[in-house]
Chain A
Amino acid sequence: MERRDFLKRALNFFIASAALLSSALLLRFISPRQKTAIEQYHYLMQEDELPRRGVKKVEFTIEQYGKKRTQRIFISAAKGSVTALSPVCTHLGCTVVWDHNSSEFVCPCHAGRYNISGEVISGPPPKPLERFTLRVESGRVFIGWKA
């Protein structure tokens, strides 16, 4: 091999590997660090305020990175069990509303419908509404919130 050809090849190899390496670094750089969500319990309401039947909108405040944020969830009571449901539609993240007349959760974005337990009745949502754990301690209700 001539010196000239060798130089060319070496240069091409160098440029290609530099490009590859920097792309890998760039990809790592732009990918946000995955944080493991920690479940924390927040005070929600008194036990006797829980609905016996039907759906109740409840707001509570969480503090994250020093910022306070109001979060809304649904407490739904049906067939003797009480569940805390997320208002976030599992389709594309819009907020669902409780429709009293049809007793369904309805998503205004793409007409997804869920029943009182948060299971999908019709429309595009792929999963039921997310459930949160509720814990009752001496008459006070706490909600497990992952953040």
Chain B
Amino acid sequence: MISRVIEWMDERFGIVSIHRRILRRPMPEDISYGYCLGGMAFTFFLILAVTGMMLSLYYVPSETEAYRSVQKITEEVPLGWLVRSMHKWSASLFIIFILLHTLRVFIAKAYRKPRELNWMVGVFVLVLAMGSGFTGYLLPWDQRAYWATEVGTSMAGTVPFIGEYLLHLVRGGPEVNGNTLVRFYSLHMLYIPLSISAGLWMHFHMVRRQGVSKRL
């Protein structure tokens, strides 16, 4: 029954038939579990997306409300503490598994031609993931968040010549305040996740095109 519904839909939509060749593509016999690291990092990215979307139903990105809303998520919302905890921990695990994946790919020399661009896209995603961690750190809007951002954004101010401008740009003004919070919220919720998604799409597309690199 379900397969007939899918067939009926696919006759009009055509998405399964297009991807059949991708799904049925042969895989080398001798790949080890080390090849799972990237997939595991991606799993954490998906968990981050889901838990992030859940948190966004309660979080309020404003100077006066943010702290209270995080407190509410942690103490009042049913299972809110768990969703927040999962979001925080997946962020760390996401970074850890990207790093392990990078190490594995380097050892396998899988960055060599024709995979140079894919390696570079991977580095891009790593940097974005760290940026997401940095912007997300401010959102609880507590002492820890405020002072880490104070120090972190001050670093932008030390860039020669354009430091002052950069500082105002990242903070949305001369100091860390509600403007900074909104800016970081927007980056954390929209710009960075979209960029990571685009990066990962390119990453997977190239893996499919070039195949999994053979073991040494």
Question: Which A residues contact B (CB, under 8 angstroms)?
Answer: 30-32, 34-35, 37, 91-94, 109
Contact = CB atoms under 8 A, between A and B. Distances in A.
B168 A93 contact: no
Contacts of A30: 169
Contacts of A92: 150-151, 154-155, 158
A32 B179 contact: yes
A72 to B, nearest CB: 14
Contacts of A109: 151
A96 to B, nearest CB: 13
B19 to A, nearest CB: 32
Considering residues A30, A32, A34, A35, which has the most beta carbons from chain B within 10 angstroms of its beta carbon? A32
Interface of B: 147, 150-151, 154-155, 158, 165, 168-169, 171-174, 179
Contact of A94 (B147, B155, B165): B147
Given A31-B168, A32-B168, A34-B168, A93 B173 contact: no
A31 B167 CA distance: 10
Contacts of A37: 174
Contacts of A94: 147, 150-151
A31 B169 CA distance: 5
A34 B158 CA distance: 18
Nearest to B183: A30
A93 B154 contact: yes
A92 B158 CA distance: 9
- Secondary structure of the A contact surface, majority rule: loop
B159 to A, nearest CB: 13
Contacts of B171: 32
Shortest beta-carbon contacts, A-B, top 5: A92-B154, A93-B154, A92-B151, A93-B150, A32-B173
A109 to B, nearest CB: 6
Considering residues B154, B155, B165, which has the most beta carbons from chain A within 10 angstroms of its beta carbon? B154
Contacts of A91: 154
A32 to B, nearest CB: 5
Contacts of B158: 92
B150 A31 contact: no
A31 B147 contact: no
Contacts of B174: 35, 37
B38 to A, nearest CB: 33
A34 B174 CA distance: 8
B172 to A, nearest CB: 5
B112 to A, nearest CB: 34
A35 B175 CA distance: 12
Nearest to A94: B151
Contacts of B172: 32
Contacts of A35: 174
7 contacts: A31-B165, A31-B168, A32-B172, A34-B168, A91-B154, A92-B150, A94-B151
Nearest to B173: A32
A35 B172 CA distance: 12
Given A31-B165, A32-B168, A34-B168, 16 more contacts: A31-B169, A32-B171, A32-B172, A32-B179, A35-B174, A37-B174, A92-B150, A92-B151, A92-B154, A92-B155, A92-B158, A93-B154, A94-B147, A94-B150, A94-B151, A109-B151
A30 B172 CA distance: 8
